[in-house]
Structure 1
Amino acid sequence: MKITIHRGASQVGGCVTEIESDGYKVFIDFGEQLPGAEKKEPLKIDGLNYGDVSKSALLISHYHGDHIGKICETNANLRIYMGKTALEIYKCLEQRLSFIPKKEESEKHKEIVERIEKINTFKALQQIKVGKIAVTPLFVDHSAFDAYMFVIEANGKRILHTGDFRGHGFRSKGLLPSLKSYAKNIDYIISEGTNIQRPNATIQTEQELQKDFERSFGKNKYNFVLVSSTNVDRIFSLYHASKKAKRCFICDSYQAKILKIVSENHKQYSSFYNIDYANKTTPAGRFFVLNPNRENFYSFDGELKPYLEKYGFCMLIRSNSRFQPLLDEYAQSDATRVYYSIWSGYLDNNKKTFDESLYDFLKPYNLEYKHTSGHVDTETLKAVFGTVNPKRGIIPIHTEAPECFQNIFREQTIISLQDGEAFDCTQNVILK
């Protein structure tokens, strides 16, 4: 068995991992590099985007673009697998993006919509066979819903690929018990390390953040929250915070569609994903869906406006001009708050990830920052490594500082690879 990190050994995003055994290949993720990242040569990988793919499969850990964004570059006959709910959310997102005005970008998203029609789906613990390689998906908490780790087994060796995960989300309590049950006798862990240089990135749990929003919604009548449309758990927590603060909850039809996908698939497992659409009697959590008016903007029309102004609301927004008139109308009120609930790096003009259009959209408003990371912190990594206790070592991925693994996890064997290097699991050596 061989491991190759084609990209991601020393960068966040754009990761591609290959695990090969007896000519069969499992690839994990094939995504775009993050905005502002150093441009690198396009990858040409045998069994993924050229050559014979009959003995290959691509597994997508979750729907973020830096993990799935390059699927249209794969061979059309390649088998691709993804979580069922994750695929539905991703399809909804890409269908939405296929209508953006820029033709080149629109065509790209239409191509993705067509490609994902052929993706196979899996559920947690549903084993996938690729020749003699067996892959078992393990459900994890991340800022993308329906995300997975993978246990890969072949030729007597077992590997845990963590994907992106965290220990401070709503569904994180199952992390260590799941690893104890299903990640036994692991030889190698391929682990993300996004926050390895940011030890304070996870100072709040999602539960604490929800309480924080609940208090703010109670104090302030008109609440606008800019949040990623696919950060599903965050959005459901905003709904529950609104309900407890006795505020109405407002989103557009696209966002409502994503919430409905998750609710229909998962409300039977947890009341957290249950929205009371039928509530017409109390403002607490009353759900309103806005559609654009004749001028193609969002507005509170007819009897809705006095009702919302009487009881207050939480409204989800994105950096889209359709939301601007409502923001401008309410921004001057002392009862209004505009919250930014996405990673702060997009608004920092000293970072490569700076998003000028997002910055310009939010510039007129006084922002209140309320966010917590979608990635694992150092203490949780220690707990994961201690629980799994890999027999042979840990391979860093999805990190800008793989050297920090050696400094922090001294009791573990750290194997640092370069992009494109192959590691022989049988001989336990890097192949030159």
Structure 2
Amino acid sequence: MDATLADDRPLVSKGWIGSYGVMYLGINIAWSAPSQLLIANQILAWHPEDKEARFAFIMSLGGLLGLVVSPLVGILSDKTRTRFGRRAPWIVIGAVCAAASLVALAFSPNYVLLVIGWAAFQIFIAAAVNASQAIPPDRVSRQQYGVVSGVMGIGWTMALVVGTLLGESLPLVAAYLASAALLLALCVPYLIWHNKASVLPTQDDQVAESSALTAASRGAVMDAELVGGFTHRTETAARSLADYRDFMWVFISRLAATLGNTVALFYLLYYLRDHIKLADPDQGVLILTVIYAVVVIGASILSGRASDAAGVRKPFVFFSCLGLAGACLVMAFAHSFTAVIIAAVVLGASWGTFTAIDQALINQVLPYANTRGRDIGFMSMAVALPNLASPVLAAFALLVLGGYPGLYLISGLLAVIGAISVLAVRGSR
């Protein structure tokens, strides 16, 4: 997106930001409750003997579908033209159909229908997530990108808490229905009162509708684009891979740290039930999630300010990765819930610091101004791939590497790889 166009936009109101944040919260609550507790409990009731493998399969399938559907919806919504804008129709379709899928999941009588229902849900919730994430670049002034991104981060973290609270405090069917209701209800304020403000013509629309371009000028523009495209391709081919050296090391660091964190959290309910022998593992997940979320938010705010004041990024990323490894080491050998709580505090502080500083480091190592969008899109795969791979790796570690100690040791090793990788970055402090 052209930064000049973004700077020319009027500032969005606090009401706009608030209603958008509420909508983003509702969309994330929808997947949080099922993935944190509900599906795991359903599988536990039906198949206690192989619950880990079945849970890994259904989560992996959902991650794969989300990875495929999200960019597809992005392409389709870019081409959508309605009086409600490009994104709102996909949010409505995604939210309504995802809510219907949650209702179906609530009444699934067996594992096969649970898999089908979860697959449908992941397709539709991916549509809503993608379309909602595309709204800020469409509408928000560049001066407010940070504020809106912060609201999105808070919404995502709070969704983990609310979703876990729903799963722990309500009966299974009621928790699914409440998740579906919140998904729809929290989307309403933005779609009704603030969506009109985001229905802006795109730059392509303005060019297409303009009568100022004559046939000759259009031909000149096409010629310039052909020459420019050829020149750009020639220059790109001549660029050395060395220009992407720091970028790739940051990618490896982010991939390893994210994978370690997602593997560490994947079997949390079963870990508390089978390894820690906690009497109420659902309540344990809720307690840990609340602690984790509060510490993540606090660490993100404090570390971001400290990093800006110090003018350095790498030490924060390095030590946050080591903190992740330390938390995993505690969980590998913990035999009490108190030890797990300590690990949750360390994990939350480390992950909050990592997520706050990692994005700043990414921005500093982008090699070319004219390929930032493409490069950031590639970097996002360092988050998407762990979400897809973590169920398989967690199941493998649990079954082959000696149970939960092996699982958490492999998570810690991944975090250490993330720490070592960031040290290889040369072009940033």
Instruction: Choose between structure 1 and 2 for higher RCO, CA contacts under 8 A separated by at least 6 residues.
Output: 2
Same fold (TM over 0.5): no
TM-score by length of 1: 0.24
Structure having the higher strand fraction is 1
TM-score by length of 2: 0.24
